[in-house]
Structure 1
Amino acid sequence: MEPMNPLLHSRFRSLALGAVAFFLVVSLILYPEQAFNSSMKGLKIWWDVVFPALLPFFIASEILMGFGVVHFLGVLLEPLMRPLFRVPGAGAFVMSMGLASGYPIGAKLTARLREQKLITRTEGERLVSFTNTADPLFMFGAVAVGFFHDVALGIIIAVAHYAASLLVGLIMRFHEPHGPSTPPPEPDSTFVLFRGFREMHKARLKDGRSFGQLMGDAITSSVNTLMLIGGFIIMFSVIIELLNQSGVMRFFASLIGGLLSLLKIPADLAPSVISGAFEITLGAQEASELPQTVHMAYKIAIVGAVTAWSGFSVHAQVASILSKTDIRYGPYCFARLVHGTLAGWFTLLLWDPLGDYVRYSHSSIPVFLRQLPETGWQGMAEQISFLGWRVVILLGVMMVLALSVRFFHRFRKEESR
């Protein structure tokens, strides 16, 4: 089969994009009230949930990078990150912040590492593929408690989500196996902590900004990124509502329903799949409202799949953030497809061993799981504490593992002499 003529392909693409834009404009004219209400809904979600949840972590991460803390962690965690995921040790900082704080902080920090030349393009594509994940507050708070009214379901969703994410990282280590890599640190007999502090000091002097200037730049950069995220959330809220009003969503739902029936999966899940493909919150809400005739395992599997996929809204945010670097969006999109498939499959695998625990655990679940932080500005301090401690714990565990690997290798070398 001959490839399409480049000129014809370019013209077809222009025609398709123009048709999409025309459809959106006509839909806005036909459904102005619905568009306005959905826009306000997206604005409320951004202002009440996304902005206060992400702003402190964006600012803190910028300050930590400016002071060279990422370089310090890179030295310590090099023995863990490079053999497993084929990324430098600095990627551990992105991994811990991304796993604990949620979309799209993994993409934001990966882009910053690339801008600072701490990773290559190939390493950036590997790193962003498994560090841009959902946060525990969303899975436990919004989904398990808010939609399904059972915090124990969050355990299955979170375990499947993070296990699939780590497996995606291991799979993506084979992405461009001969691609450029940052050189590993030269052998040095200096104690690893001293080397880490030395690299941190060099990075801080190289940056050269005072604390006041660094704080101002961090706030400016973080607010600009959050404004971008807010625009995408509002726009996709409008697009989803317009697609609902025009009947396009129902058309796609019928197609997906037929495909699910072929896979022996209830076709009733189709609307939640379509909604989740655009926006994960809507997909999870649709799944929670399905009739009881649909087995809970399938509902949670779909929730796990759309949460890992993350929705076109998050994809657009990530593509925009990565566009400032040479990191390509294609590998990230492929990784999301793999992550969504694995997360849904893991959920079904975990349902049998953990399903009985979920059904009979209401009286035995630890109390702290029910004391989730409130969303919005009132719960900002609690959210920072809830997520911040998880960042610290995750980094601590990785540091212990990395130091163990380092001392094991040193012991083997001394033993072989």
Structure 2
Amino acid sequence: MSVKKLSLPLMLASFAGLLLLMILFPGAYLESALRGLAIWWDILFPSLFPFFIISEMMLGFGVVHLLGTLMDPLMKPLFRIPGSGGFVAAMGYVSGYPIGAKLTAKLWEQNMITRDEGERLVAFTTSSDPIFLIGAVSVGFFHDSKIAVILAAAHYGGGFLIGILMRFHGQQKTGSGVSNGLGPTPERAMDSAKKGGRVQSAFAAMHQARMQDGRSIGEMLRQAVESSLKLIIVVGGLVVFFSVFLELLTQAGVMKSLYLILDKILTAVGFPASLSEALIGGLFEVTLGARSAGEAAASVPLPYKAAAAAFILSWGGLSVHAQIASILHATNLRYLPFMIARLIHAILAAVLILLLWDPLMGNLRPSPAFRPEPELSLVSAAGGFADRIAYLCILIVFITLASVFWSWIRALWHQGNGKAAK
């Protein structure tokens, strides 16, 4: 029997088993569902929903075309991605998952990237946001803000390395110059950049894209809210589902068996076996796994705890994977390259923690003073939203200046070569 024929019976059996566990453990089922709903309503909805709307509006105003023209000299040599991918990278790293996948799907819909380019882009722009990494993980779970330094270096550094590795994914020849009438193609933007200044060409590309979009601001805002609301509801449903799924497996004793298996694997590779609970939890859900890593037994060395947290943050959890898969389902972008990239990113991040620990952290020990976990409320989420806006502005300014500087260096280089040839 083929795999496709087996998949449907196995899926039906799995859902029937979950339904039976819900009946056997109604209290745990309800409590876990409410917990997942609280995470969505108190954290994800106020922090992600505004960014969904903002990103949609920026796409409509042609900001992607502006940044795409500016960043094309930087993105193509490094990642084999059009300059418009720089906008996705900036928003993805500031806002966290699944913003990068959502914007990648939008670029694909507008024929600004090919399938291979989209798969490269979503692979390295899916990451944890700085607010969660610093506030929740470093301060809340590890009770020491200094951990954020090495976690950020390993997590975002690993993401950069994934971008470099993914440049070898797919065909060597790209065809992202196809246009569906929603804006200037990269080829046209590059031609205009050669004729005039890159900054001037970038603003011209943004204006042309806005004119060709043609929607009024009111219509654009309405469609942005509708699209963002659909996506945030899907995200919430997946968070609640995986919260229930993980709790039911725990109640059924399945998780204990997984812990025993992972204990032996960790011992074989030299990691403390007591980190198995954190890694198994992080396999399904990021928050649960990162919390378990930070609160692991005191006998576990701090570098190994941080390595486990970096692995979990970079893997993203099956809850995030389900969100990404649901977004990619509307495109022709494949999920498998994304999953492989997440696994490599997770391993790279854990290795980077161990390699960089002594140079960056020295002999850091856990802080003796206990710092309570930050309350996950609407107030903290609003503060996090303001911080993300600030991070986004700083990051976009930095990337834009870097792109302009790189274009200037390349122009001087070509000018020097031209004079030498004469």
- Kindly provide the amino acid, as one letter, of the partner of residue 213 in structure 1: E
Alignment gaps of 5+ in structure 1: 1-6, 364-369
In 1, distance between residues paired with 2:367 and 2:60?
45
Q: Following superposition, which runs of at least 4 residues in structure 1 exceed 4 angstroms of deviation?
A: 357-363, 372-375
Match of 2:298 among 276, 292, 295: 292
In 2, distance between residues paired with 1:361 and 1:408?
46
Say if 2:261 is the partner of 1:262: no
Equivalent residue number for residue 400 of structure 1: 401
Say if 2:97 is the partner of 1:103: yes
**Does the 8 A contact of 2:75 with 2:81 survive in 1?**
yes
* Partner secondary structure for residue 272 of structure 1: helix
Equivalent residue number for residue 182 of structure 2: none
**Does the 8 A contact of 1:80 with 1:398 survive in 2?**
no
Say if 2:48 is the partner of 1:54: yes
CA distance 1:281–1:268, shift in 2 (3 Å): same
Say if 2:372 is the partner of 1:378: no
Displacement of 1:374: 7.0
Equivalent residue number for residue 366 of structure 1: none
In 2, distance between residues paired with 1:111 and 1:271?
34
CA distance 1:273–1:373, shift in 2 (3 Å): closer
In 1, distance between residues paired with 2:271 and 2:54?
44
Equivalent residue number for residue 331 of structure 2: 325
Q: Which runs of structure 2 are paired with 1:54-133 in the superposition (5 Å)?
A: 54-133=48-127
In 2, distance between residues paired with 1:103 and 1:28?
29
Say if 2:237 is the partner of 1:249: no
Q: Which runs of structure 2 are paired with 1:277-316 in the superposition (5 Å)?
A: 277-316=283-322
**Does the 8 A contact of 1:152 with 1:361 survive in 2?**
no
Range with greater deviation from structure 2 (74-83 or 395-404): 395-404
**Does the 8 A contact of 1:122 with 1:181 survive in 2?**
no
What whole-Å deviation, never above 9, does each CA across 1:340-387 have from its counterpart, x for those lacking one? 000101111121122237449999xxxxxx9x9974322444223211
**Does the 8 A contact of 2:101 with 2:327 survive in 1?**
yes
In 1, distance between residues paired with 2:410 and 2:351?
36
- Kindly provide the amino acid, as one letter, of the partner of residue 390 in structure 1: Y
In 2, distance between residues paired with 1:271 and 1:375?
23
- Kindly provide the amino acid, as one letter, of the partner of residue 230 in structure 1: G
Displacement of 1:257: 0.7
Range with greater deviation from structure 2 (192-201 or 270-279): 192-201
Alignment gaps of 5+ in structure 2: 178-185
Range with greater deviation from structure 2 (349-358 or 200-209): 349-358
In 2, distance between residues paired with 1:340 and 1:316?
17
In 1, distance between residues paired with 2:374 and 2:198?
37
In 1, distance between residues paired with 2:137 and 2:166?
28
What whole-Å deviation, never above 9, does each CA across 1:115-143 have from its counterpart, x for those lacking one? 11111111000000000100111111111
Displacement of 1:407: 1.2
* Partner secondary structure for residue 379 of structure 2: coil
In 1, distance between residues paired with 2:407 and 2:25?
62
- Kindly provide the amino acid, as one letter, of the partner of residue 280 in structure 2: I
CA distance 1:182–1:245, shift in 2 (3 Å): same
In the superposition, the TM-score normalised over structure 2's length comes to 0.92
Equivalent residue number for residue 350 of structure 1: 356
In 2, distance between residues paired with 1:189 and 1:10?
54
Percent identity of the aligned residues? 43
Displacement of 1:189: 1.9
Equivalent residue number for residue 205 of structure 2: 199
In 1, distance between residues paired with 2:3 and 2:400?
50
- Kindly provide the amino acid, as one letter, of the partner of residue 57 in structure 2: I
* Partner secondary structure for residue 176 of structure 1: coil
**Does the 8 A contact of 1:374 with 1:383 survive in 2?**
no
Equivalent residue number for residue 414 of structure 1: 415
Match of 1:161 among 155, 158, 163: 155
In 2, distance between residues paired with 1:179 and 1:41?
47
* Partner secondary structure for residue 198 of structure 1: helix
- Kindly provide the amino acid, as one letter, of the partner of residue 79 in structure 1: P
In 2, distance between residues paired with 1:336 and 1:83?
22
- Kindly provide the amino acid, as one letter, of the partner of residue 236 in structure 1: F
Equivalent residue number for residue 3 of structure 1: none
In the superposition, the TM-score normalised over structure 1's length comes to 0.93
